[in-house]
Structure 1
């Protein structure tokens, strides 16, 4: 699960602003599953949703490890 959360973060960072549906389609999962991942990322201050259903990364510095 942690791997998918990281991948979701990296996908958002790469694409800019994306919808929950776009993320779910990219990862072949349901909107609800992606929403749980986004909740984790939001709780940690890594993504935000300035427009309902659209997501983008925050300016919080992130160290990505393999």
Structure 2
């Protein structure tokens, strides 16, 4: 696995864990927390949404779904 892919997967996992621990968060909170661009956060959220791990109850706000996840 390339270092870039590994870095992205680690960030996606960290974003999921942050949302899971915080409850509902805004996209801007994620940008501030992870020090990346809004576009990068949006791409990562798209991965999580595609895998049914997060949902957006209202525009710009995110929360985890009830899907069971095993974190290693």
* TM-score, length-scaled by structure 1: 0.97
User: Runs of 4 or more off by more than 3 Å in structure 1?
Assistant: none
Q: Which has the larger radius of gyration?
A: 2
Match of 2:64 among 28, 45, 57: 57
Output one character per residue of 1:14-62: Cα deviation in whole Å (capped at 9) or x when no partner. Answer: 0000000100100001111000000000000000001000000000000
Pairing 1:28–2:35 present = yes
Aligned CA RMSD, in angstroms, stands at 0.4
> What are the ranges of 5 or more consecutive residues in structure 2 without an aligned counterpart?
1-7
* TM-score, length-scaled by structure 2: 0.89
1:13 to partner: Cα distance: 0.3
> Which structure's residues are more often strand, by fraction?
1
